[in-house]
Structure 1
Amino acid sequence: MTDSTYSGHLEKMKVRPGVPVDYALVLDNKEHVINDLLGQQITLKWEGDIHCRACERPTKKSFGQGYCYPCFTRLPECDSCIVSPEKCHFHLGTCRDPEWGERVCFNDHIVYLANSSGVKVGITRMKNMPSRWLDQGAAQALPVARVATRRLAGLVEDILRRDVADKTNWRTMLKADAPAIDLHTEAERLRTLFADELQQLQDEFGQDAITWLTNENTRDFNYPVLEYPTKVASHNFDKTAEVAGRLMGIKGQYLILDTGVINLRKFTSYKISVTVNRES
């Protein structure tokens, strides 16, 4: 058997569609393919260092998945409206960076339904399909509407989430493959249920501001998992700097070890070392 070690500041895993989904660890901008590590013993160790993903200054604590506190309170990509786009305040003249807002928020967005732990509604920029769904561990995804701005996408989502979830139950997602759901039927049901509210949005923003996508195909995804845990326990670098176990699967942004799971995206900008004990 031979060991190999690599280290660097962690970014969210790179995901690519495939059968199964293809994953790579990203450390200091370098990709390390990890699908072939399934079944191997690995050790991940936080080396005690965090550098802000924006300004690269050292920080004792990470905010918003990898930022120092000054950047977290100043940058537009860290504003509360990124998590809650219906709260966009660009039209009020209070955007943290109007040029950034015009570039990122004033282009077509997709409202979608996904199935990771049951039906959920979400939004994404068109260029982020399908990585957005893969990051969530979705077994299925269906684009249901194309809208003109991020804020409008958030307003549509805000209506639909009165009846379906807008967040993934990560514990459920990590316990098993999600049973198949007819997302086309769900989309039509939601459009009928909220027909009046959705029409009001189109009346306010213009009939062309929302285009319902009735001819899209459901996307199906399969993840590299040898065995799902019967009970989900999570690792946390802030509590235990060294995490070790046999890699049993990869789903969403989680590594599934036989000792527990760890959400690598949560620890963006942490400097970690990864040691792989390859068994011959």
Structure 2
Amino acid sequence: MRSSAARREAAARLRDAGVASPERDADLLLAHVLDVGLGRLPLVDDLEPAQHETYAALVARRAAREPLQHLTGSAAFRHVELAVGPGVFVPRPETELLAGWAIDAALALGRPAVVVDLCTGSGAIARAIADEVPGADVHAVELDEGALAWAERNLAGTGVDLRHGDLATAFDDLVGTVDVVVCNPPYIPLEAWESVAAEARDHDPHLALFSGQDGLDAIRVLEQRAALLLRPGGVVGAEHADVQGESAPEVFAATGRWRDVADHRDLAGRARYVTARLAR
């Protein structure tokens, strides 16, 4: 079969299934099957029968709203490639902004930074920091055992101190010594179940998604833990839902422990993450 025809058919099927980016997903799946870069797809004239069969099977799974990254087995995050699959939250492009903030904060110190990544999931943020901040002392923790296995794989050989545990009690040995705390916590309100995209709702661990009736339970715990872990003047950053642009910063501002509390928008102009500095 002509590869161009197969791509058109795949994109049409994905579009009918409600996939947000049908053409790109169709191309990425075919590039995965052929083991070539996207730029080489136009150079492929015909698919062998086995290639077309494999491609059709992957397209069918994507049409059933299985995450694209589960089908390819990887997710790009800043300058690194992460292994992902069932049992771990797939890192989103929006989170790269939060990771970038943490990287900049660590680099601005002018000395080796102590950085803690709470709720590390796949290890995406910790891996990016280890990759982009030379000499950083990076620590990460994950509660879910399934996600922890993926983090172990992604952080192997990076020097990151990865632990199994709860963000509420993690790193007692680092209390008062940390420069940067960063976290992509669960933040979806339980009542918003029906509004969550099928890829996340049906495939991402619910521990990584939902956080109480207002979605802020984990952020409240994060605020308390970061206040203990950070040295005076240390900084914390946490992702949140776009509707929490006022409520998430208020979690920090209301305690009186923080200054420079600020919210930040993503590239689409939506409220995306909050940062704050521990008062001296």
TM-score (norm: length of structure 1): 0.25
- The structure where strand makes up a greater share of residues is 1
- The structure where helix makes up a greater share of residues is 2
